[in-house]
Amino acid sequence: MALPVLLWGLVVGPAWAGLPTQGTGVFINEGGDVITARHVITDCERLFVVKDGRVVRGRVVAESVDYDLAVVSTPLTPYLSAILAASPHPGSQPVFTESYDVLQSMENRSVQVFNAILVPGRDRLTMMSSVRPGASGAAVLGEGGLLLGLVQERTAKGALGPILLSRSRQPVGQGATVRVRAAPAADIKAFLTEHHIAFMESARPQLGPAQARAPRAATLSVGLICDAKD
């Protein structure tokens, strides 16, 4: 997609702000740094960050192939930044996760407490979730609104093992079980620490048990548009 050159921090018209985003990111600190899945920003000649009708240039300042995580520096001042869960995630529990674009038009956002379920996993979070393409990099918010993880892959169960839907042309049969994998908070913290990126963690809930998590996810989230290299 050919996009015009934008100056750092320039506010553009509503038409640009309404472009469909290719991925999602999460404010990880008060300085405006955004964390996302690395594959969202791979091979981008220019990267644009969308937030509340504003489009700005983003700059990749840290990335890891092993973690499939990246941090994008922005000139934005977040109203709220994510707080990582201080302790390992528990077993099965209801969580909330959704892409930036879907969050913008979600009719029941103000009352949405959860929309996905964590299932037992080993090194990554695994969820039963209906998220669609564009959710890579989206926050996984657990009880209390703490950040448990970051969406990375949609997978389906195949005869030879999991099929990565975003990276495979193999067809998935109707009725196939689709699950979503995410980087756990432990991996996110290790990655951020290695790259000296500031973040906050806590065991203290940020929301009450019955408070909607969707509004918090919407506040934390940004959309990402990649102007790919030719």
Report DSSP state, residue 10. Answer: -
Each residue's pLDDT tens digit, 118-171: 987 665 788 888 888 889 999 999 989 999 999 998 876 654 455 555 544 444
Sign for the CA dihedral angle at 154, 151, 18, 212 comes to positive
Instruction: Return the structure tokens found at 162.
Output: 């999991």
Alpha carbons 135 and 209: distance in angstroms, whole number: 25
β-strand partners of 222: 25
Each residue's pLDDT tens digit, 45-63: 899 999 998 999 999 999 9
β-strand partners of 161: 158
Alpha carbons 114 and 180: distance in angstroms, whole number: 15
Report DSSP state, residue 212. Answer: -
| Size (the chain), residues | 230
Token match 């879907």: residue?
Answer: 102
Alpha carbons 54 and 144: distance in angstroms, whole number: 29
3-state secondary structure string, 85-115? ECCCCCCCCEEECCCHHHHHHCCCHHHCCCC
Amino acid letter for position 146:
L
Confidence (pLDDT) at 206: 94
Task: Give the CA diameter of the chain.
Answer: 49
Q: What's the predicted TM-score (pTM) here? A: 0.85
Average pLDDT on 13-38 reads 83
Each residue's pLDDT tens digit, 78-98: 999 999 999 876 678 899 999
